[in-house]
Structure 1
Amino acid sequence: MSFYGEISKYYDYIFPVGENQLNFIKDCAGSPGGRILDVACGSGGYSIELAKAGYLMTAVDIEDGMVEKVKTKAAENGLSINAFKCDMRELEEKVRERFNAIFCIGNSLVHLANLKEIADALTQMKHILADDGCLVLQTVNYDRIIKFNLDGLPTITNDEFGVEFVRKYKFKKESNTIDFNTTLIIKKGDSKAEYNNSVELLPLRSSELAWALKEAGFTTFDFYGDFKYSNYTEDSPSLVVKAR
């Protein structure tokens, strides 16, 4: 089984739904009943909670295991969520609706190869937004990572379910990329299993994201340091965006 296939079984224990994130998305989407697209949805925790709140949800991810997880959870909760496999670079090809809100959080955007791909993906998101639609983005704050030469993010531990997720960064200045090396550790009784993975990320600076949003046709956007609407600075842990 692939790393992401394995992690899909434990995703909710590593990345539980956050109340601040959920409220931020609801603020962007407006009243229940509107259509929302969850891009790079993972196991669909946010789509599930938003569907429960009355929003009409579409959820897409590039990993089959994640999409199947969303479908299973939706069925278990008696919810209708349109979940299917889709790369964020092919949204206009595969998504046939327009949305009141689109969100792409969890540092997913920086898995694209370069700034042009990011601008192209954002352009597609803009095209499938309603005229007054709102986009929410969230990445790690790479201004901070590079400024302080940080070598990773805090390890995530869930003792209740015996899950540990180790995250290490290695910035490569010559190629302007980051090696993101992760280890998923699963403990069951006296046994322990480890799953290692390495993926190359684009260290997207705030100025570069501002350029890409303008290229995509967004005319107004605000940057925040978290989902509590804190002012964004180079020292913020995250870069959160609300754009129209």
Structure 2
Amino acid sequence: MSKFYTEISKYYDYIFPTGKAQLQLIKKIVGEAPKNILDVACGSGGYAKSLNDSGHQVTAIDLDQEMVQALKARDTGIDARVLNMLDIEVLNKTFDLIFCIGNSVVHLNNNEEIYEFLKSCKNSLKENGHLLIQIVNYDRVLAQDVKQLPTIKNEDVPLVFERYYDYWPEQHKINFRTILRVNENVLENSVLLHPIKSTEFVGLLEELGFQDIQLYGSFNQEAYDPMVSFPLIMVAKK
């Protein structure tokens, strides 16, 4: 895990606060508690804690040890672990819902790794269990050569989080550069992302036998528009 993510862990909730629309959709999909839920790339665990508080049995994984330790201290009722998303089958559990939001899946290297992740998810879901994935809409990013995502500001800290995209066609990668400004401190980082398109993602889900695949352009379940929507949200059933 990049040192950058460890350094920003103390600011994570200010940059990415737990969203009401995200929680509402997660709860709508999974149904009445108690259900077994896996939060993949959980960050500081805001969603995991809210779901655990609602009576669900929550497992949460992330690569950043600082964030996982903070979540364990925050809520001992959550099974929080440092684990790669490609290794979820070592948990030896089955879930009613697996979700991975926050554009985390595209940190995998290619479609083959994403396929392996989705395969592990399917193997770890109960019959009729659901998978929820959210990434940036790379249909729009690639077609319109998007160079920057909206800057995140939080005046309470205060902080500014700038996000820049630079597409490298030869490698089919996006160089994702971030600048976090907190008072007089500046933290910079860059990481390569794999910009998978919606048709490719749906194709992988279909190849694995997922059913009832739904695409949304927001967590409020607005229709997905490849050239307009900011996120791509996918819900599929085993």
> Fold conserved (TM > 0.5)?
yes
**One of 228, 232, 236 as aligned partner of 1:239:** 232
1:171 aligns with 2:172: no
Aligned residue in 2 for 1:150: 146
Aligned residue in 1 for 2:196: 204
* Deviation for aligned residue 1:219: 2.3
Whole-Å separation in 1 of the counterparts to 2:60 and 2:160? 26
Give a deviation string over 1:154-209, Cα, whole Å, max 9, x none. 1101010111111000011121110000011111xxxx111111000001100110
Whole-Å separation in 1 of the counterparts to 2:178 and 2:204? 28
Q: Where in structure 1 are there 5+ consecutive unaligned residues?
A: none
Q: Which amino acid aligns with 1:226?
A: S
**One of 184, 187, 195 as aligned partner of 1:195:** 187
Whole-Å separation in 1 of the counterparts to 2:213 and 2:74? 33
The alignment of Structure 1 onto Structure 2 pairs a total of residues equal to 235
1:83 aligns with 2:84: no
1:186 aligns with 2:179: no
1:82-101 equivalent positions in 2, closer than 5 A? 82-92=79-89, 94-101=90-97
* Deviation for aligned residue 1:211: 1.2
Secondary structure, aligned partner of 2:215: strand
Aligned residue in 2 for 1:218: 210
Runs of 4+ in 1 over 2 A off after TM superposition: none
1:33-48 equivalent positions in 2, closer than 5 A? 33-48=34-49
Whole-Å separation in 1 of the counterparts to 2:69 and 2:181? 23
Q: Which amino acid aligns with 1:236?
A: S
Q: Where in structure 2 are there 5+ consecutive unaligned residues?
A: none
Secondary structure, aligned partner of 2:33: coil
Secondary structure, aligned partner of 1:161: coil
Aligned residue in 1 for 2:24: 23
Aligned residue in 2 for 1:109: 105
Q: Which amino acid aligns with 2:39?
A: D
Q: Which amino acid aligns with 1:139?
A: I
Q: TM-score, normalised by structure 2?
A: 0.96
Aligned residue in 1 for 2:54: 53
Aligned residue in 2 for 1:62: 63
> Does the Cα contact within 8 Å between 1:119 and 1:215 map onto a contact in 2?
no
Aligned residue in 2 for 1:4: 5
Q: TM-score, normalised by structure 1?
A: 0.94
> Does the Cα contact within 8 Å between 1:28 and 1:135 map onto a contact in 2?
no
Aligned residue in 2 for 1:119: 115
Secondary structure, aligned partner of 1:160: coil
Q: Which amino acid aligns with 1:120?
A: E
> Does the Cα contact within 8 Å between 1:171 and 1:177 map onto a contact in 2?
yes
